[in-house]
Amino acid sequence: MAASLGIIILLGMFANWIFTKLKLPGLLGMLIVGVIIGPYGLRIIGSDTMSISKDLRQIALIIILLRAGIGIRTDDLKKVGSTALKMSCIPGIIEGAAIAFAATELLGFSFVQGGILGFIIAAVSPAVIVPQMLNFIEIKLGTNKSIPTLILAGASIDDVVAITLFSAFVGLYSGSSINIGLQLLGIPVSILFGIALGGVIGFILVRLFSRHHMRDSKKVLVILGIAILLSTLETLLKNKVQIASLLGVMTIGFILFEKMPLVGERLAHKFNKIWVFAEILLFVLVGAEVNITVALKSGGVGLVIILIGLVGRSIGVGLSVLGTNLNLKEKMFCVIAYVPKATVQAAMGAVPLALGIADGNLILAIAVLSIVITAPLGAIAIKTAAPRLLVQE
């Protein structure tokens, strides 16, 4: 495992440097390295490392979401609150439904199978989106209308909606007496639980750091450890109560900055430094999950279904930003920013196959193809479009 991690770090850093020099997103280079050295490529990454890949990716995602929480300001959140809520559910629901209907027509799926596929594909990737939005906040690109904050907040909840509806359709397929209406009602409950837990933990940490002096490095370790446990709690309680743990993680960072701004600024710098390492792990290991051969098996039909979904998502984003003060260029950027997929698809793509759902192999193939198509193209499009479509303060 140690050798695999050493190779991941060195090759990931090198790919990041090369692609940055080429004016391309560094994460694209790291994804490609992951594909090449992963178990479906040259098999350089050992099976022991791949066995804990999911946990490593989750920890890396927690690190960037903590940093994102510290980067959100109350005034910005007030500006985008209602729009962010619409962005968190309308685009994903329309995309999932569009893919479900397309799968019934083009693949001969039942509507329930189509729903399973649709809501695997419908989730956007915080791993791809969040680091770029944080960068835009730092360089004050689009911050005049809090656009990066809008996308940060919306994307963090979008996955909750997609995973909840995916679980509902899996339950329907297995014959469980699941009411999709109740499942939808559970989404705001899980969001509130996540925010509430994150808020309570944030206030406890503020109290702890106010009363007991410790180095910032130790503060970071305490925060990270608690955030990981919060994420684990979601897994332990998923059959009893839904908790939007990643939203809770962001809330911890938000509360810390609100109540202890000077400490928050210092912690943000610490998390930026940790992210240098975590970013490499996250994107190389996401790339390692991608089986290009499987992706190609879905053929042109898989590509058509993904494109139909993206059209549905774009319509959903357009509906979400209606009535806001965003101009046409800024609305176009919001559409582009919601394209990348990677995190949920890598984690959930193989679940239908493992559960014995009919055509699970085809669902996996389309999920993998969605990563191959949207993660690199979406990342490039965000980086290229932002300076052209957003206002620099």
Confidence at 184, pLDDT banded by 50, 70, 90: low
Which residues does 172 contact at the CB level (< 8 Å), separation at least 6? 112, 115, 178, 180
Could you report the per-residue pLDDT of 292-332, keeping only the tens digit for each? 887 777 778 999 999 999 999 999 999 999 988 899 999 99
Which residues does 372 contact at the CB level (< 8 Å), separation at least 6? 290, 292, 295
* 95 contacts 122 by C-beta, under 8 angstroms: yes
Could you report the per-residue pLDDT of 32-87, keeping only the tens digit for each? 899 899 888 889 998 888 888 888 888 988 888 888 888 777 777 777 778 888 99
Fold of 56-389: Na+/H+ antiporter like fold (1.20.1530)
Euclidean distance between CA atoms 109 and 97, whole angstroms: 13
**Residue 13: what pLDDT?**
94
pTM beyond cutoff 0.85: no
**Three-state secondary structure readout of 299-335:** HHHHHHHHHHHHHHHHHHHHHHCCCCCCCHHHHHHHH
